[in-house]
């Protein structure tokens, strides 16, 4: 199988082209990510997932997806059930914490069931960001609530549901995207909030759930910590906050390095994220020339990053004793949809 490299790539369409197949074989990424553009139906997607893994000769290679529910869902009706946005569970939790927790657990378990049937083994969930008034709507209802303790309670249930369903969770966007006044897909957000306030609100959700096996960075500048660089490319934020104060020692991946929040050539962005302390760099858009640039910088996955990757994958279990029909009926009842 040989040494894999510190990258996760997307692909262009619903099946691999010869150039992609050859590139992935040579580049040997740690993992892959699929998007709506890669999805036609369950059989096609299952085949694509198998094709991706075959290029690196590893049938348990990580294949990621953003299947949150609400606005962010790559798997959609008619082939897959629409899932509620996170905020819906926060509202339920306000009425009954117990009902909220159970609903989030069942929902995550059901998402994991859908993903397992396709061979997808990583979901970029839960969103642990804490939104505030006046922030950009990019997070909005993707967050469970505005109250960190509710987010922690429901985030924990989502992590458990995914893991018990055979899928690895990725908490995002560490150390917190909730205050960002711009959408980092389009521009680089700056947050001027002081370090103590960030610590008490934005960072606390991640600190409380720092056992999550994987996390994704925020392309956000925290002026109080590093006025020059967003978290993704800031050695100071990763060392002092993510690894230090938050105490996260799992696998840290960058958010997508092709997003407009970052500037400069793709190779420079990738190099900066890895130098700052990301274990792997994520590149999503499937553009071959950009992926080649990332591959120039994505050195072999070894040392502490390899250990973190292995520790994350060790959380993968074969799910058992789950009845999806009963779980769906109970979830509908909890949400008042029955």
Catalytic residues: 185, 255
Three-state SS for the chain is CCCCEEEEECCCCCCCCHHHHHHHHHHCEEEEEECHHHCCCHHHHHHHHHHHHHHHCCCCCCEEECEEECCEECCCCCCCCCCCCHHHHHHHHHHCHHHHHHHHHHHHHHHHHHHHHHCCCEECCCECCCCCCCCCCCCHHHCCCCCHHHHHHHHHHHHHHHHHCCCEEEEEEECCCCCCCCCCCCCCCEECCCHHHHHHCHHHHHHHCCCCCEEEECCCEECCCCCCCCHHHCHHHHHHHHHHHCCCCCEEECCCCCCCCCCCCHHHHHHHHHHHCCCEEEECCCCHHHHHHHHHHCCECCHHHHHHHHHHHCCCCCCCCCCHHHHHHHHHHHHCCC
């Amino acid at each position: 199988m040989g040494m894999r490299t510190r990258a996760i790539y997307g692909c262009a369409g619903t099946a691999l082209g010869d150039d992609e197949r050859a590139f992935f074989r040579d580049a040997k990424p740690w993992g892959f990510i699929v998007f709506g553009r890669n999805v036609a139906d369950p059989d096609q997607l299952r085949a694509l997932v198998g094709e991706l893994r075959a290029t690196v000769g590893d049938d348990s290679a990580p294949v990621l997806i953003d299947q949150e529910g609400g606005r962010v869902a790559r798997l959609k009706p008619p082939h897959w059930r629409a899932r509620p946005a996170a905020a819906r569970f926060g509202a339920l939790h306000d009425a009954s914490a117990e009902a909220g927790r159970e609903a989030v657990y069942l929902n995550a378990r059901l998402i994991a069931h859908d993903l397992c049937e396709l061979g997808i083994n990583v979901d970029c969930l839960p969103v642990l960001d804490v939104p505030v008034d006046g922030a950009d709507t990019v997070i909005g209802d993707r967050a469970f609530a505005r109250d960190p303790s509710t987010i922690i309670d429901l985030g924990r249930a989502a992590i458990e549901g995914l893991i018990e369903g055979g899928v690895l969770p990725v908490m995002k966007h560490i150390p917190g995207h909730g205050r960002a006044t711009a959408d980092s897909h389009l521009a680089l957000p700056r947050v001027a909030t002081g370090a103590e306030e960030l610590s008490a609100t934005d960072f606390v959700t991640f600190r409380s759930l720092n056992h999550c096996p994987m996390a994704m960075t925020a392309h956000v500048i925290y002026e109080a910590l590093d006025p020059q660089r967003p978290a993704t490319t800031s050695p100071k934020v990763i060392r002092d906050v993510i690894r230090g104060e938050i105490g996260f020692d799992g696998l840290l991946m960058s958010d997508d390095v092709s997003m407009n929040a970052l500037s400069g050539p793709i190779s420079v962005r990738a190099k900066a994220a890895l130098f700052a302390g990301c274990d792997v760099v994520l590149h999503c858009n499937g553009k071959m020339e950009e992926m080649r640039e990332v591959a120039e910088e994505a050195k072999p996955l070894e040392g502490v990053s390899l250990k973190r990757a292995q520790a994350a994958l060790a959380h993968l279990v074969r799910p058992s004793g789950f009845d999806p029909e009963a779980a769906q009926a109970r979830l509908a009842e909890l949400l008042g949809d029955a």
